[in-house]
Structure 1
């Protein structure tokens, strides 16, 4: 029987509820000095704000070695009533110390499988997805290494693979590697940040593979996100792909949290949901927020 693997254990997909399909409660990186998501009180307040806006679940895409604080997630989930899904995986090389990456050579897939099936460190928390990342308009050697390990872990566990597309690019290269060369079924791949490179041809070609298309992150000055998102969602829905779409907030720095003055997780439901409903209708939006993430993250764990 399929289940969504949350930090408090496996649940039925239909119990997931309204979901932020891509976000972060905790995240640290040398690329974001001084802007880390590391405050547990702020994380709790953000979840409470999301819950008050009608949210029920958050999928945290923070991968291995980027400050996931997995041991703190069960307590936050219990305290706020928000279901949380945690990630294993590896981001771009720039987010890590080279020596740390060197230590993972030859055992990366093993690490992913262990975190999916046994738990992250001594936390007892099992990951529910694998997060990897592409490069800008390409797949560099690091991306190919991590995606190959992710595919191996997927074949061992069934876990979905969520992909950070750098500025929304490289979607078809990712699918050629994961679904073509490495044999991962399309419906087990989630492409993130497609809204940052709003190419309707690429989006439709990606949807044809059966993968999930994640529109995640509110507007930034250099991203065509909110103002192009409604028409992209409408076009994909009219083409028959409403059942392949996901929405997320992708809060990556402290100043972006709603409790710190930014849009944060509630923005997804407070502003984006009604904006999209004007274009595609309430039923489609609710499907994207509830039924779709339940399917995208449900796995027959065995």
Structure 2
């Protein structure tokens, strides 16, 4: 039987409720000095605010080595009543020092499998997905290495693979590699940040493969996501791909948290949901937030 692997254990797919399919409670990268998400009270406040707006689950895409704080996630989930899914995986090389990457050579897939089946470090928290990343309009050697390990871990466990697309680009290259060369079923692949590159033809081709498409993160000036996203989502739904779509908040900096004056996790339900409901109708938005995530993240775990 398929189940979503949360930090408190496996749950049926229909137990997620309203799902933020891509976000971060904890995250830290040398590329964002001084903006680390490290505070447990701040994470609790974000989850609580999300819950008060009707949120039921959050999928944290923070991968290996970037401050996941896996041991803190179960208590936060219990206290707030929000399901939390943790990730294994590896981000772009720029987020790590050479020593950490060198230590993972030859055993990356093994690390992913262990974190999916045994737990992250000594926390006992098992990851529920594998997060990897591409580069801008390309797949460099690091991306091919991490995606190869992710595919190996998927074949061993069934876990879904979530992909950071740099500025929303490279979707078809990722699918060619993961689903073509590496044999990952398309419905086990989730492409993130499609909203950052609003190319409806690329979106359609990706959706036709059978993968999931995540529109995640509020608008930035150079992304123009909020005002173009309804059209992109409508085009996909009209083409019969409404069951392939996901929404997320992708909070990656302390300044972006709601408690610090940013949009934070609540923005997804406070602003994005009603904006999409006006353009697309409540039923489609309900499907995207409540039905699709269960299918995307559910696994018949091996």
TM-score, normalising length from structure 2? 0.99
Q: Which residue of 2 aligns with 1:22?
A: 22
Shift of 1:279: 1.4
In 1: Cα distance, 2:233 partner to 2:169 partner: 18
Shift of 1:280: 1.3
Shift of 1:110: 0.2
Q: Which residue of 1 aligns with 2:157?
A: 157
Q: Which residue of 1 aligns with 2:128?
A: 128
Shift of 1:179: 0.3
Shift of 1:256: 0.5
In 1: Cα distance, 2:139 partner to 2:147 partner: 10
Which sections of structure 2, spanning at least 5 residues, go unmatched? none
In 2: Cα distance, 1:268 partner to 1:146 partner: 30
Q: Which residue of 1 aligns with 2:85?
A: 85
In 2: Cα distance, 1:268 partner to 1:140 partner: 32
Q: Which residue of 1 aligns with 2:71?
A: 71
Shift of 1:222: 1.1
1:27-81 CA deviation, whole Å, 9 max, x = no partner? 0000000000001100000000000011000000000000000000000000000
- Matched ranges for 1:40-119 at <5 A: 40-119=40-119
Shift of 1:103: 0.5
In 2: Cα distance, 1:89 partner to 1:225 partner: 26
SS in 2 for 1:88: strand
Q: Which residue of 1 aligns with 2:260?
A: 260
In 1: Cα distance, 2:96 partner to 2:14 partner: 37
In 1: Cα distance, 2:288 partner to 2:194 partner: 15
Shift of 1:278: 1.2
Shift of 1:221: 1.2
- Matched ranges for 1:238-253 at <5 A: 238-253=238-253
Shift of 1:287: 0.3
In 1: Cα distance, 2:230 partner to 2:80 partner: 30
- Matched ranges for 1:122-201 at <5 A: 122-201=122-201
In 2: Cα distance, 1:105 partner to 1:164 partner: 21
In 1: Cα distance, 2:278 partner to 2:173 partner: 33
1:118-137 CA deviation, whole Å, 9 max, x = no partner? 00000000000000000000
Shift of 1:300: 0.2
SS in 2 for 1:103: helix
In 2: Cα distance, 1:205 partner to 1:259 partner: 39
SS in 2 for 1:162: strand
SS in 2 for 1:56: strand
1:239-279 CA deviation, whole Å, 9 max, x = no partner? 10000000000000001011111011111011111111111
SS in 2 for 1:131: strand
1:213-241 CA deviation, whole Å, 9 max, x = no partner? 00000011111210110000011001100
In 2: Cα distance, 1:260 partner to 1:210 partner: 38
TM-score, normalising length from structure 1? 0.99
**What is the root-mean-square deviation of aligned Cα atoms in Å?**
0.5
In 1: Cα distance, 2:7 partner to 2:261 partner: 28
In 2: Cα distance, 1:8 partner to 1:135 partner: 33
Which sections of structure 1, spanning at least 5 residues, go unmatched? none
SS in 2 for 1:226: helix
Give yes or no for the alignment of 1:221 onto 2:221: yes
SS in 2 for 1:135: coil
